[in-house]
Chains A and B, each alone.
Chain A
Amino acid sequence: MSTLAASNKRSFWSVVWDYITTVDHKKIGVLYLIAGGFFFLLGGLEALAIRWQLVKPMNDFVSAGFYNELITMHGTTMIFLAAMPLIFAFMNAVIPLQIGARDVAFPFLNSLGLWLFVFGGIMLNVGWFTGGAADAGWTAYTPLSTISPGEGMDYYVIGLQISGAGTLMAGINFLVTIINMRAPGMTYMRLPLFTWTSFVASALILFAFPALTVGLFLMMFDRMFDSAFFDPAMGGNSIIWQHLFWIFGHPEVYILILPIFGVFSEVVSTFSRKRLFGYSAMVFATVLIAFLGFMVWAHHMFTVGMGAAANAIFAVATMTIAVPTGIKIFNWLFTMWRGSIQITTPMLYALGFIPTFTIGGMTGVMLAAATADYQYHDSYFVIAHFHYVIIGGTVFGLLAATHYWWPRMFNRMLDERLGKITFWIFFVGFHLTFMIQHFLGLWGMPRRYWVYLPDQGLDLGNAISTAGAFLMAIAVLILLYNIIKTAIKGEPCGDDPWDGRTLEWAVPIPAPHYNFKQVPLVRGLDPLWVEKMDGRKEMTPSEPLDDIHMPNNTVLPFVMTIGFFIAGFGFIYQKYDNALNALIFVGMGIALGAMLVRSLKDDLGYHIPKKELEKEARK
């Protein structure tokens, strides 16, 4: 762990301070990884508890109410606090390097987005300690969510609002970074696919999250200020929530998967030692998926009674998405075809991903058949579908990215042997857990029920499923062991350990905080590979050595976040005592005050003088 090891000499608190105030995308990436990883483990524990409750009929491991909290917090945590932040971890760690930039476009916003996510995540989980966490499902359908007693759903609303704001900022930041900060010669059609897919996913964030923001505001007003959006007695309408949620929710699943398509494109191409097959088709398919992704949200609502015409339109629209997705699958296969394939851990995940994700896509098309969905809806079949795409896609991809970019981030290789063991146990555990759930669903097991009766043909299937879940947990433990082991015993891995193709491998490991002493000149797709093929070891610089401009560290994002965090409690508890409104004013005061300081104080950053850079070069 280069960054950590190097700072060992400094006092603990100065390191903490450094990370709290950092605007360096590489450190922010590490923080996203740590926080996202933590929430991933937390969500995993919740999943194990769910599976343990279902291991046998009429189990009483947890109460019905607690079970509801578990499933709600599991889903919410995994999607908003684990999968997305982990994707942001790699976007931060890799994208500026891949496009030849010294930084992101908005370092300040980058830090703010991180802290909003972290504190939003904490907020969501505070509910556990105040009489019950959120319990209306991660989809939080009204009126269940608006009448749910206690503060659990309030924490859901405020927590997601805070972390959602952070996500929106991150999205805008990456859009602008990728457009404005590319090195000379890095044209759009030379962007590595991870950058491309992240770009498109960021656009999806920009268009999808505001719908969630509004939905959450309406829910917040209904729960905390007695408005009547979802209350039929006052003329309200529950369906509005479902629309807003899924207008956000469906693009969200593509936010989760598109960057992962990018990861696999990089991995497959690197370890087949070939350039990606059908690069432009891949880009086109990505954009097409994103575009179509906005017109299909109602496939989650086939059974609410929208009518045959609406159902038919959304069914057809949904099925068309399978076409660009299929294009991608074939492109990966053709990239491998006649490549000289190296079976590394990331490549294993890629190989596992292709069939697994294809199954998930197939069940997706089955679900998209509106009439059939009346049978599948809210059954374990749906659970199986989205775990095939989200674990088989997103989580496999994140694990591949972890192994692939670990040396880039921490100057250590993860142990390959342990990595492969992790893969196989995780892969087997995954299919054991979720394959059978397709059938459980078809045999009539509904989702979100805390018990089932014995002798209805569901006993064995559930037991198998639980066994698989524990296998996945073992795999995760091995991964953790691998990380700790290599952090303590591992050797620094040095530059370019995978014989990479893209620019992030042209940067020395560990990276200087300005990334590129001289911004490189990009001469083709897979720029580093282009240079290697020309017999060079390094990129050609595009500029003479000169002073480098860098942004200043700042604590304001952290302060601002604390402000919103405090105000959040005010919103939740003001219904008990008007005096608690003070919390809202104090919190908002802190946040707006920090904003004002930010806008009033000139912050021009600093320059690393040329002399210093030359001195470093001589060392």
Chain B
Amino acid sequence: MEERATFNEEFIKEKRRQDMRHQVLTFSMLIIFTLISFGMVMSDLNAMFVRMVIILFAVVQVGFQLYYFMHMNEKGHGMPSLLFYGGCFAGFLTVLGLVVLTWW
């Protein structure tokens, strides 16, 4: 029994080490996204196109942060996701309303 427990612990430690490697990978992705965004803005690509792409990148970046950095991919995050995304949804409507319906 005792041996089994330590074995289990070793296994978990190893798994965590791997997870941490994924986190570093995530981090590099975030850096790359950020670099691309900054780069695109400084290039002379079509402004509308750039706008769409960098917003998309922002959303993807945030997704990575939520899922890996903030551990949303782990078990037991059902309710947190529900209410957090609920907030995001309400927030999205708010931004939409203020952008579209303020001057027009």
Assess A203 versus B79: contact at CB under 8 Å? Given A239-B101, A298-B97.
Answer: no
**What residues of B have a CB within 8 angstroms of the CB of A207 in the complex?**
86-87, 90
- A600: min CB distance to chain B, Å: 26
Binary contact track A33-49/B, C-beta < 8 Å → 1, others 0: 00000000000000000
Q: Does A436 contact B (CB under 8 A)?
A: no
Q: Does B102 contact A (CB under 8 A)?
A: yes
- Chain B contact residues, majority secondary structure: helix
CB pair A306 B101 closer than 8 Å:
yes
Contacting B79 at CB < 8 Å: which of A179, A244, A306?
A179
- Among B83, B97, B103, the one with the most A-chain Cβ atoms within 10 Å of its Cβ is B97
Q: Which of B50-104 contact A (CB under 8 A)?
A: 79, 83, 86-87, 89-90, 93-94, 97-98, 100-104
- B35: min CB distance to chain A, Å: 32
Q: Which of A14-42 contact B (CB under 8 A)?
A: none
- A131: min CB distance to chain B, Å: 34
Assess A243 versus B83: contact at CB under 8 Å? Given A237-B103, A295-B93.
Answer: no
| Residue of A with least CB distance to B87 | A207
Q: Closest 4 interchain pairs by CB?
A: A207-B90, A239-B102, A306-B101, A243-B97
CB pair B83 A297 closer than 8 Å:
no
Assess A206 versus B83: contact at CB under 8 Å? Given A243-B102, A307-B104.
Answer: yes
| Residue of A with least CB distance to B93 | A294
CB pair B97 A247 closer than 8 Å:
yes
CB pair B94 A247 closer than 8 Å:
yes
Contacting A310 at CB < 8 Å: which of B89, B93, B94, B101?
B101
**What residues of B have a CB within 8 angstroms of the CB of A116 in the complex?**
none
**What residues of B have a CB within 8 angstroms of the CB of A175 in the complex?**
83
Q: Does A181 contact B (CB under 8 A)?
A: no
> For the complex, what is the distance from the CA of A310 to the CA of B97, rounded to whole Å?
10
Q: Which of A202-222 contact B (CB under 8 A)?
A: 203, 206-208, 211
**What residues of B have a CB within 8 angstroms of the CB of A206 in the complex?**
83, 86-87
Q: Which of A238-271 contact B (CB under 8 A)?
A: 239-240, 243-244, 247
**What residues of A have a CB within 8 angstroms of the CB of B86 in the complex?**
203, 206-207
CB pair B98 A243 closer than 8 Å:
yes
Chain A residues bordering chain B, tally (CB within 8 A): 20
29 A–B contacts, CB within 8 A, in A order: A175-B83, A179-B79, A203-B83, A203-B86, A206-B83, A206-B87, A207-B87, A207-B90, A211-B94, A237-B102, A237-B103, A239-B101, A239-B102, A240-B102, A243-B97, A243-B98, A243-B101, A244-B98, A247-B90, A247-B93, A247-B94, A294-B90, A294-B93, A297-B97, A298-B97, A306-B101, A306-B104, A307-B104, A310-B100
**What residues of B have a CB within 8 angstroms of the CB of A307 in the complex?**
104
- Among B93, B94, B100, B103, the one with the most A-chain Cβ atoms within 10 Å of its Cβ is B94
> For the complex, what is the distance from the CA of A237 to the CA of B89, rounded to whole Å?
24
**What residues of A have a CB within 8 angstroms of the CB of B93 in the complex?**
247, 294-295
**What residues of B have a CB within 8 angstroms of the CB of A310 in the complex?**
100-101
| Residue of A with least CB distance to B89 | A294
> For the complex, what is the distance from the CA of A237 to the CA of B99, rounded to whole Å?
12
**What residues of B have a CB within 8 angstroms of the CB of A240 in the complex?**
98, 102
- A602: min CB distance to chain B, Å: 26
**What residues of B have a CB within 8 angstroms of the CB of A243 in the complex?**
94, 97-98, 101-102
- B77: min CB distance to chain A, Å: 13
**What residues of B have a CB within 8 angstroms of the CB of A211 in the complex?**
94
**What residues of B have a CB within 8 angstroms of the CB of A295 in the complex?**
93
Q: Which of A274-326 contact B (CB under 8 A)?
A: 294-295, 297-298, 306-307, 310
> For the complex, what is the distance from the CA of A244 to the CA of B102, rounded to whole Å?
11
> For the complex, what is the distance from the CA of A208 to the CA of B87, rounded to whole Å?
9
**What residues of A have a CB within 8 angstroms of the CB of B98 in the complex?**
240, 243-244
Q: Apart from A239-B101, A243-B97, A243-B101, list 20 A-B contacts with CB within 8 A.
A: A179-B79, A203-B83, A207-B86, A208-B90, A211-B94, A237-B102, A237-B103, A240-B98, A240-B102, A243-B98, A244-B94, A247-B93, A294-B89, A294-B90, A294-B93, A297-B97, A298-B101, A306-B104, A307-B104, A310-B101
> For the complex, what is the distance from the CA of A179 to the CA of B89, rounded to whole Å?
21
**What residues of B have a CB within 8 angstroms of the CB of A297 in the complex?**
97
| Residue of A with least CB distance to B94 | A247
> For the complex, what is the distance from the CA of A247 to the CA of B103, rounded to whole Å?
17
| Residue of B with least CB distance to A294 | B90
> For the complex, what is the distance from the CA of A295 to the CA of B98, rounded to whole Å?
13
**What residues of A have a CB within 8 angstroms of the CB of B83 in the complex?**
175, 203, 206
**What residues of B have a CB within 8 angstroms of the CB of A203 in the complex?**
83, 86
> For the complex, what is the distance from the CA of A179 to the CA of B76, rounded to whole Å?
12
| Residue of B with least CB distance to A310 | B101
**What residues of B have a CB within 8 angstroms of the CB of A208 in the complex?**
90
> For the complex, what is the distance from the CA of A403 to the CA of B14, rounded to whole Å?
61
> For the complex, what is the distance from the CA of A247 to the CA of B102, rounded to whole Å?
13
| Residue of B with least CB distance to A176 | B79
| Residue of B with least CB distance to A305 | B104
**What residues of A have a CB within 8 angstroms of the CB of B94 in the complex?**
211, 243-244, 247
> For the complex, what is the distance from the CA of A297 to the CA of B96, rounded to whole Å?
13
> For the complex, what is the distance from the CA of A499 to the CA of B87, rounded to whole Å?
40
| Residue of A with least CB distance to B78 | A179
- A357: min CB distance to chain B, Å: 26
- A209: min CB distance to chain B, Å: 11
**What residues of B have a CB within 8 angstroms of the CB of A239 in the complex?**
101-102
- A615: min CB distance to chain B, Å: 39
> For the complex, what is the distance from the CA of A207 to the CA of B82, rounded to whole Å?
12
**What residues of A have a CB within 8 angstroms of the CB of B90 in the complex?**
207-208, 247, 294
- A260: min CB distance to chain B, Å: 22
- B99: min CB distance to chain A, Å: 10
| Residue of A with least CB distance to B98 | A243
| Residue of B with least CB distance to A172 | B83
**What residues of A have a CB within 8 angstroms of the CB of B102 in the complex?**
237, 239-240, 243
- Among B89, B90, B100, the one with the most A-chain Cβ atoms within 10 Å of its Cβ is B90
**What residues of B have a CB within 8 angstroms of the CB of A244 in the complex?**
94, 98
> For the complex, what is the distance from the CA of A223 to the CA of B102, rounded to whole Å?
21
**What residues of B have a CB within 8 angstroms of the CB of A298 in the complex?**
97, 101
> For the complex, what is the distance from the CA of A36 to the CA of B34, rounded to whole Å?
51
- A214: min CB distance to chain B, Å: 9
